[in-house]
Amino acid sequence: QLIKGEVTLKNVTFGYVPGKTVLKNINVKAKPGQKIAFVGSTGAGKTTITNLINRFYEIEEGEILIDGINIKNIKKDSLRRNIAMVLQDTHLFSGTVRENIRYGRPDATDEEVITAAKIACAHSFIERLPQGYDTVLEGDGANLSQGERQLLNIARAAISKAPILILDEATSSVDTRTEKHIERGMDQLMKNRTTFVIAHRLSTVRNADQIIVLEHGEIIEQGTHDELIKMGGRYYQLYTG
């Protein structure tokens, strides 16, 4: 393990364009191995928080620390190696299925690729492709379904040794049956990693160590499922529909 995977956001305020604040004074402390869930309505700022942890954008106010080090002082390639992600929109490149899965772990063996694909419930559809693991994907996986692309991204995260994991609606395009199937794989994926999970289905965030409820870019509630239910506030409303 390269790092422990402690992630801290301190007074983070951010906007994509000047004059429009998207996140206001966000404070989060994720201990190594914890599962942190972000919930809240569309546009609340969930993806934006993970964009900042990934350093896709620079923050003006506040700071983000990994193992106590400001991410501004961590080299981008080191950050990439330490954070695995399955995002709302999938990322694949033209190359074989195998290359796409072991992206970031070029040293991975064929066995490791298959194990990762099995964790992601991707093995059976890959085997049905014309050349199996050697099938060449067109740009961004255009010859696959949206759900299949997500499964490949999950397999890529599974093969990665990154201690930090970001799951942003990671199974949103997968059918209910496959999603049920993949639950154990997702648990395996999160094991021993600091995980930030965003999911509309609140059943998948129930067991998180901390659930953070966002509204218009601000944290309005924070706690475990039981604590937030007892509180009877926004999370309770969301949960009980």
Q: Which is nearer to ligand CTP, 42 or 203 (CB)?
A: 42
| Helix (H) / strand (E) containing 99 | helix 97-101
43 binds ligand CTP (CB under 6 A): yes
Binding mask 11-30 for ligand CTP (x = CB under 6 A): -----x-----x--------
Rounded Cα gap, residues 216 and 103, in angstroms: 35
Please tell me the count of residues contacting ligand CTP according to CB under 6 A: 10
User: How many beta carbons lie within 10 A of that of residue 207, not counting itself?
Assistant: 13
Structure tokens at 58: 């620079």
Contact partner, 42, from ligand CTP, Mg ion, none, Cβ < 5-8 Å per class: ligand CTP
Cβ proximity to ligand CTP: between 64 and 114 the closer is 64
Q: Measured from the CB atom, is 43 or 95 closer to ligand CTP?
A: 43
Q: What angle do CA 79, 6, 40 make, to 5 degrees?
A: 90
Residue 204 in tokens: 């998948």
What are the b/e assignments for 26-44, b being 16+ CB within 10 Å?
bebebebbbbbbbbbeeeb
Alpha carbons 145 and 92: distance in angstroms, whole number: 12
Residue 213 CB, nearest approach to ligand CTP (Å): 11
Q: What are phi and psi of 197, to 5 degrees?
A: -120, 135
Q: Return left, alpha or beta for 39; rule: phi > 0 is left, psi -120 to 50 is alpha, else beta.
A: beta
Question: Stretches 44-52, 132-140, 172-180, 186-194: which one binds ligand CTP (CB under 6 A)?
Answer: 44-52
Residue 46 contacts ligand CTP per CB under 6 A: yes
Among 34, 44, 47, 152, binds Mg ion (CB under 5 A): 47
Q: How far is the CB of 124 from ligand CTP (least distance, A)?
A: 29
Report which residue type is found at 116.
A
Residues 6+ apart with CB under 8 A from 136: 94, 95, 96
CA distance 185 to 148: 15
Which residue, 16 or 93, has its beta carbon nearer to ligand CTP?
16
Which of 48, 82, 90, 194 contacts ligand CTP by CB under 6 A? Answer: 48
Q: Does residue number 44 form part of the binding site for ligand CTP (CB under 6 A)?
A: yes
Closest distance between Mg ion and the C-beta of residue 46, in Å? 5
Site size for Mg ion, by CB under 5 A?
2
Please name the residue that has the structure tokens 């040794």: 161
CB under 5 to 8 A by kind: which of Mg ion, ligand CTP, none does 16 bind? ligand CTP
Binding site for ligand CTP (CB under 6 A): 16, 22, 40, 42-48
Applying CB under 5 A, the residues found at the interface with Mg ion are 46-47
